Amino acid sequence: MKFDFEFYNPTKIFFGRNAMDNLENQLENYGKNILFVYGKASIKKIGLYERVINALKSTGKTVTELSGIKPNPTYTQVLEGARLVRENSIDLILAVGGGSVIDCAKAISVSAFCEGDPWQKYWVDFEPLGNKTVPVGAILTMAGTASEMNAGSVITNEAVMIKEGRVFTPEVNPEFSILNPEYTYTVPKIQMVSGVFDVMSHLLEQYFSGEDDNTTDYIIEGILKSLIHSTRIALENPTDYEARSNIMWCATMALNKITGLSKEQDWLVHGIEHQIGAYTDCPHGVGLAIVSVPYYKHIYKYGLDKFVRFAVNIWNVAAVGLTKEQAALAGIEKMADFIKEMGIPTTLREIGATEDTLEKIAGSIEPGGGYKYVTNAEILEILRECY
């Protein structure tokens, strides 16, 4: 292992068909006032809303609801939630939905008692957390972000057209998360595959960093292979419990810090997509998929051996008789084929981006990278290739 590290993750996970049976016991650990945060109508359609409300009532809770959280949660929604926390003396924020809802709940938690502007303090200046927070619990309905077991929170500030992520310290993690794969069955296909590629991108941005041959790389490869295998099954049969279970657990493992240990990491694909999302409001994983193939073709020569390893170990590319460059590119093309197999859009044009916004998007992105430092001019070139 190249770098020393410290690992701590305080989230308690309840996983499986009967995971919801633990909700009432968990609620007993908190005070009376609950902020119930969720998206739109989907949790009502599957009967989850009613089940949560019944659990809250049976444990004597007073419930305040914040509904309508967007797929790209906004700072306006965060401030509304923070106001509700203060006005109702909230003891627990219960987030029910996908990663966007849980991200929003964590943002509300850190913002409610922040002195000054939380956006400026935490998402712009990245100041250390300096105020009390409200505990968060989560019930997951869509696999992808791993927000159920990390301290990350990605928020869109529509006033300045910036979508920014912040990883806080572990006390912001959900204290408990309930994961029942059956709750993901009715997620529309585009949302399912968007989540799958978000998982894949989390893994790749940690994998494609450094030339070290460490335990973390093997863990990443194992999760990637499980994810690809299970996704193909779920595409054929969306209610295959084993496949959905594997996808859900792959998602959690991909960004709960396990797969980043002793890695340098490269998060520029996410940085580029965040700004695409700010301008188009596209599903996060869809934007990542559109960006990833051109981005990795742009940098693969600078981490050639790792890209060859990716081609051989993940996509079973027969490298005998190929140059390293040919083998590496064959792996990237296999990934591109998998994106098409899932039915994910492959161009920015398909998700509503306009050519005249590309320069604005590129100019709003902090340059960087892993194997290669990528400038704003190069980001614009990549976006044009994506278009």
CATH number of the domain within which 96 lies: 3.40.50.1970
Q: Average the pLDDT over 28-45 and give the result.
A: 95
Whether residue 83 is found in the same domain as residue 230: no
Tell me which of 165, 183, 201 is where a domain ends. 183
For the segment 162-213, what is each residue's pLDDT rounded down to a tens digit?
A: 999 999 999 999 999 999 999 999 999 999 999 999 999 999 999 999 877 7
| Mean pLDDT, rounded, for 32-58 | 96
Total domain count, the chain: 2
305 within some domain: yes
Residue where a domain stops, chosen among 183, 205, 222: 183
The helix/strand/coil state of 35 is strand
Do 27 and 117 lie in one domain? The reply is: yes
Q: At what angle do helices 324-342 and 189-207 cross, to 10 degrees?
A: 160
Whether residues 173 and 200 share a domain: the answer is no
Residue 371 has pLDDT above 90, yes or no: yes
Q: Is residue 162 assigned to a domain?
A: yes
Mean per-residue pLDDT for 314-341? 98
331 and 316 part of one domain: yes
Q: Are residues 316 and 235 in the same domain?
A: yes
Let me know if residue 1 belongs to a domain.
no
Is residue 2 domain-resident? Answer: no
When pLDDT is cut at 50, 70 and 90, the band that residue 315 belongs to is very high
Q: Domain of 282?
A: 189-386
Is the pLDDT at 1 greater than 80, yes or no?
A: no
- The whole-number pLDDT of residue 331 equals 98
Considering the domain architecture, whether residues 164 and 208 belong to the same structural domain is answered as no
Distance of alpha carbon 359 from alpha carbon 382, whole angstroms? 11
Q: Report CA 74 to chain centroid distance, whole Å.
A: 16
- The Cβ-side half-sphere exposure at 163, using a 13 Å CA radius, reads 25
Are residues 328 and 194 located together in one domain of the fold? yes
Answer yes or no: do 272 and 175 share one domain.
no
| pLDDT confidence of residue 303 | 96
Residue 134 domain flag: yes
Residues 173 and 216 in one domain: no
pLDDT reported for residue 198: 98
41 pLDDT exceeds 90? no
pLDDT at residue 17 greater than cutoff 80: yes
Q: Is the pLDDT of residue 101 over 90?
A: yes
Average pLDDT, the chain: 96
**Is residue 167 a part of any domain in this protein?**
yes
**Global pTM value:** 0.95
Beta bridge partners of 15: 179
Listed residues 136, 154, 183: the one ending a domain: 183
Helix or strand run (H / E) with residue 77: helix 75-87
Token pair belonging to 238: 């969306």
